[in-house]
Chain A
């Protein structure tokens, strides 16, 4: 009898799991439950449709529903899973009979942290997540004059830039002293802040939200620095793991609130796997669990979880977290951690930084690239890095993550080989120069 594999969640992890399970076992009976109207689209693209960089929402869909039917993946849309019975191997679904499973993949995603202030029940609060709601909100944005974004988180950065591109007076309120302060260093973010100012964005850092004010519909945000009028409020608070089902079922939960998994994405219960924003994973440098990573992490984890649910044998690995995004007119990115987080954790480091260029100095369109590298004292192994520039940031962030994983040292990087071709690369690779500067500072 082919195994019954049930996947809870239709996001990147859930769809990755279903597709991978199908590849490993062509006969498996695979069912996916999602509470939304659609699956397999890119929610990460939503801010760019709002900002008019992408012309329509349709291009965010990866595949039509028919493609999944043809692949033998039975997706149940608008179906909320209300409970997991791991003893009797049943999934309880609202509006359906209980569904038996042999193996289960939990990919229940994330929830935005509650802003924790009065007024969160008002209309006019936009939580960017579901594409259907985004389509409705996109029409609303046509009539919005002033928007307030709560928290300069990764999504917050994208939404601030998108709303400003849309010509909306945009305010961002954040309790930290600079944007993306839990991830990026202030010197990396400073150009973004300047670029936002050029776009007319009003930043309110070191500012706490005290209440959302309105009569049925939000009309202002009360902060520690005064009241800001608002037609809408975009809530971009921390992405918390949606662990409600997992907790109720008795799966082990870690210190981040994410589901505990091993390298096979197996949870604490036999035959139950988990992937995506609902799990936590060890960081490759610190071995401290982290959660709430990117869509590419979720998809890759889903592939591992789905393969193993179909009796395959795949492993995931500790994460070095390459990240990157566009904010204002800048690209920012990095890998592992930066100076701020290393300082907070008390991790000893030496640092090297440099400002280089992305192409030959004489080639049209040449852009600055600022690189900052952190290395372990003594061994000089890379432990982190951050970048800001206007091209080539994503590729360098990916490279740095792999370099850290492979134990590359400042010495290795300082004398690395690099592509030199005037339209695509400068004679001196900025990462190599940063490493040379790091070596010079260590050796005096």
Chain B
């Protein structure tokens, strides 16, 4: 049983990556992108989500990503690099 957050992440990651791969394959390999999968679901992700996502402000995208449940929302202390000489 897949949770909503897994469904959202799995699909958004898959179709955004697919779109980026198509762009990169054209640019570097002169090759087409992955073949489109038939069906209404894939059509929504490809034709609606993928074009809309980059138009959203990065802050909003980041806020949505951060709002998903996961290890990133628990305690992880980042140690800031010190620029001070050690001695």
Contact = CB atoms under 8 A, between A and B. Distances in A.
Given A182-B17, A339-B24, A343-B24, A206 B70 contact: no
B66 A177 contact: no
B81 A407 contact: yes
Contacts of B74: 260-263
Interface stretch (A86-94, A148-156, A185-193): A185-193
Interface string B58-76: 1001000110111111111
A254 B31 contact: no
A70 interface: no
Contact of A279 (B2, B23, B71, B75): B71
B3 A262 contact: no
A318 B69 contact: no
B24 A340 contact: yes
A397 B34 CA distance: 29
Interface residues on B, range: 35 or more
Interface string A285-297: 0111100000000
A287 B72 contact: yes
Nearest to B25: A177
B78 interface: yes
Interface in A185-240: 185-187, 190, 205-206, 208, 224
Contact of B66 (A224, A263, A287): A287
Given A224-B35, A282-B76, A190 B71 contact: no
B29 A406 contact: no
Contact of A260 (B25, B32, B34, B70): B70
Interface centre among B2, B3, B20 (most CB of A within 10 A): B20
A129 interface: no
Nearest to A260: B71
Nearest to B13: A344
Interface string A157-201: 000000000000000000111100110011100100000000000
Secondary structure type dominating chain A contacts: loop
A176 B34 contact: yes
A339 B71 CA distance: 25
Contact of B17 (A253, A289, A340): A340
Contacts of A289: 70-72
Interface in A271-318: 279-282, 284, 286-289, 315, 317-318
A256 interface: yes
B42 interface: no
B20 A177 contact: no
A437 to B, nearest CB: 17
A264 B4 CA distance: 27
A279 B16 CA distance: 24
Contacts of A255: 3, 5-6, 8-9, 68-70
A67 interface: no
B54 interface: yes
Contacts of B31: 177-178, 205-206
Interface string A337-359: 00111011110100000000000
Interface string B10-38: 00010011011111110111011111010
A258 interface: yes
A346 B24 contact: no
A405 B17 CA distance: 25
B71 A406 contact: no
A340 B19 CA distance: 10
Interface centre among B3, B13, B70, B73 (most CB of A within 10 A): B70
A263 B75 CA distance: 6
B79 A317 contact: yes
Nearest to B4: A255
A289 B66 CA distance: 9
A99 interface: no
Nearest to A186: B28
14 contacts: A177-B33, A182-B17, A186-B24, A186-B27, A190-B29, A206-B34, A208-B35, A254-B71, A255-B3, A255-B6, A257-B6, A279-B71, A317-B76, A339-B24
Closest 4 A/B residue pairs (Cβ): A254-B70, A344-B20, A177-B25, A262-B74
Given A177-B33, A339-B24, A345-B16, 17 more contacts: A177-B24, A186-B24, A253-B6, A254-B68, A254-B70, A260-B69, A261-B71, A263-B76, A282-B72, A284-B78, A286-B65, A318-B78, A340-B21, A344-B16, A344-B19, A346-B16, A407-B81
